[in-house]
Structures are given as C-alpha cells and as structure tokens.
Amino acid sequence: MSRTCSSASRELDEPIAGTAATARTWLLLEQPGPWGAEALTSSHLDPSLGRALKAAAKGTGVRIALIRRAGRHADSGASAARRVYAAHTVPGNVWLHAATVADPEHLLDLDFAALGRGEPETFGTALGGGPHTGDPLALVCTNGKRDRCCALLGRPLAAELAASGTEGVWEVTHLGGHRFSPTVLVLPYGYAYGRAEAHAVKEVLHGAQEGRIVVEGCRGGSAWERPGQAAELAVRRAVGEYTAEALSVVTTDGAAPRWSVTVAHADGRRWQVTVAQGASLPPRPESCGSVLGSPARMDVVGIRETTMAASAS
C-alpha cells in the first residue's frame, strides 16, 4: 500500500494545534448504513432532506454531521427511532442536549439561528429533547469515502472503544483533517483530537466528565477559528490551566499570515497571543490521492499577559 496522508503527516511530525473544524454548535443525526463523501446527500438519508438541512444551517454557526454506532453498517430501511444531539461549545454557555426522533424531517422545525447563538429551547420545542444526562460523547471520523485513512484508522479505533465498554462512542461523517487520522471530537466542550489512540481518548473523556481539557494531541476547540484555537491551547499550556470553560477567545485581529488574539480567563486575566501562519514543509498530501502541498500551520510566536487596565486602554 502506498504511503497514506496520515502516515506522511505523522512521519513529518506536522503540528496539529489550530486544525479543528469550526462550529459554535454541532447538530448530530443518527443515520445507519453506508455514507458517501457528502454524507448529508449521499447516504440512506433522503437527499432532499439533506439538502434542506444544509441550507437551513448555512451561515448560522451550526455544523451538521451524521453519526452511527460503531460496527457493521447494515441499514434495514426500517423507520427506527434515531438519536439526535445538539451541542453548543462556546465557554460560559456549553451544553449538550439529546432527543429521539422517528422522522428526521422534524429537524427542519429547528430554529438553526437560535441554536447557533447558543439557545437550546428550540431543540426541546421541535424535537422534545432535553439535556443529555449520560457520559461525554466521543465522535470518531470513519468516513472512508472522504479519505481512506478515516476508515483504515478511525473504524478500528471506534470499534476498540465500543468493545471496551466506553460509553458515548459514535462514528461520525466528517471532522476535517484526514491526515491527522484517527480524528475524534469530544462533546460537550467541542475539543478535537488527532492521531488518537484508545487509551488517550479514554483519558480525554474522563477529563471531560470532570470538566477538564486534555491538551495532549488536541487540535483545538471548535468554537474558535484556527488562530484562536492555537492561541487558546498555547495559553492553557503556558499557565497550566485545564479547566474546561476557563478560557475564551475574545478578539482576533489581523489577517493571514499574522494575527493578534486576545485570550481571556474567567478570573479577569488576559493574554495577547501572536499567531503566524506558516507552511508545512516539505510538501505532503493533505489527503490521500491529492497532489503534494504545504498545508497552512498555526504557529504561536508570542504570548504576553496584559492587565485589565492595559486591555481597556
């Protein structure tokens, strides 16, 4: 087998901070059976519904993905009840709600703009859902139709976690960053991980249960754009702050290839973080089968704590 995009990325020790998919709110719909590359319109979900959901979510900050239980993916076609989750990942208003629906068409009754703003009421009104009371969710990307690494590496990881009795494990259609496979998103806090191994995912889930973020192998929090993801992780490491909702990205000034990111602590402290966009060299495939390229990387080149007075001036 030729070298995969993930093996190339691993061998070149490509940094993974600041590479997570961006979404303030995640909406997850259980859909058994096979998935195509564009799962909302190329799965056993009615493609017209998939198109309508994609249109409804556009520009709202809501990202929709399909999920399924780990294991074989036969779909009998029966109208079985499906699990639906919505998670808002912005610190200070993090929540995870769950519902069970018999007809996924009901998702079109959701107020997507409200979900994107972090208002969960529509989830209960439209779907009869409520706060999720179980363990945190571990979403493992396994969609081999997007990239073979997700199937070759993601599916065994999801199966191993499920077989070990780890709760909250689902396969998911797309988290981006195939070359960091296996990739995992953990909800409710919305931090993504790359090159994941089962023991590490269990530690991440244990941390999330306790309201703590594990930074090893972390790609970033999905609530922020890529420069903010890198900046927030850098501050966590610099000051040893691992409490889940302690830090927020409050401003990101500038444009590629250089940003100034303000990271705020819930206790009032602030940091000015300088993030520079670099190119990953030597060239490598960004996904399997693609031409060689130099993926953008987020390099933190400076962290400076500022006083509240200085920040306000």
Task: Quote the pLDDT of residue 35.
Answer: 85
Chain segment 295-311, per-residue pLDDT in tens: 788 999 999 999 654 44
Angle at 140 between CA 158 and CA 174, to 5 degrees: 140
Task: Quote the pLDDT of residue 212.
Answer: 97
Looking at residue 154, what DSSP letter applies? Answer: I
Is the pLDDT assigned to residue 190 strictly greater than 70? Answer: yes
Instruction: Give the Cα separation of 162 and 205 in Å (integer).
Output: 13
Beta-carbon contacts of residue 99 (< 8 Å; ≥ 6 apart): 83, 84, 85, 123, 124, 127, 128, 129, 130
Instruction: Give the Cα separation of 271 and 91 in Å (integer).
Output: 17
User: Mean per-residue pLDDT for 197-213?
Assistant: 96
Is the pLDDT assigned to residue 31 strictly greater than 60? Answer: yes
Residue 222 Cα distances to 139, 162, 191, 199, 290, angstroms: 13, 24, 6, 23, 25
Q: Which amino acid is at 122?
A: T
Contact (Cβ atoms closer than 8 angstroms) between residue 234 and residue 84:
no
Q: Which residue reads 């009795």 in tokens?
A: 165
Identify the residue with better confidence: 75 or 115: 115
Chain segment 128-184, per-residue pLDDT in tens: 999 999 999 999 988 654 555 556 677 888 899 999 999 999 999 877 766 777 889
Chain segment 36-82, per-residue pLDDT in tens: 878 888 888 999 999 999 999 999 999 999 999 987 655 555 557 99
Q: How many CA atoms lie within 13 A of 3 on its CB side?
A: 12
Instruction: Give the Cα separation of 69 and 167 in Å (integer).
Output: 11
Task: Quote the pLDDT of residue 87.
Answer: 98
Residue 313 Cα distances to 251, 307, 310, angstroms: 15, 10, 5
| For the chain, percent of residues with pLDDT exceeding 70 | 83
- Establish whether the linkage from the previous residue to 257 is cis, with ω within 30° of 0: yes
Looking at residue 142, what DSSP letter applies? Answer: -
Chain segment 222-249, per-residue pLDDT in tens: 999 999 999 999 999 999 999 999 999 9
Considering the chain, what is the average pLDDT of its residues? 88
Task: Quote the pLDDT of residue 10.
Answer: 67
For residue 201, the surrounding DSSP H or E stretch is helix 198-209
Angle at 147 between CA 142 and CA 149, to 5 degrees: 65
Contact (Cβ atoms closer than 8 angstroms) between residue 179 and residue 14:
yes
Task: Quote the pLDDT of residue 175.
Answer: 79
Task: Quote the pLDDT of residue 157.
Answer: 87
Instruction: Give the Cα separation of 67 and 45 in Å (integer).
Output: 12
pTM above 0.85, yes or no: yes
Contact (Cβ atoms closer than 8 angstroms) between residue 137 and residue 170:
yes
Long-range contacts of 55-60, Cβ-Cβ distance < 8 Å, separation of 24 or more: 56/108, 56/110, 56/112, 57/27, 57/112, 60/25, 60/112, 60/113, 60/115, 60/116
Task: Quote the pLDDT of residue 313.
Answer: 40
Task: Quote the pLDDT of residue 265.
Answer: 97
Task: Quote the pLDDT of residue 70.
Answer: 87
Instruction: Give the Cα separation of 294 and 200 in Å (integer).
Output: 28
From the CB of residue 161, how many other CB atoms can be counted at a distance below 10 Å?
23
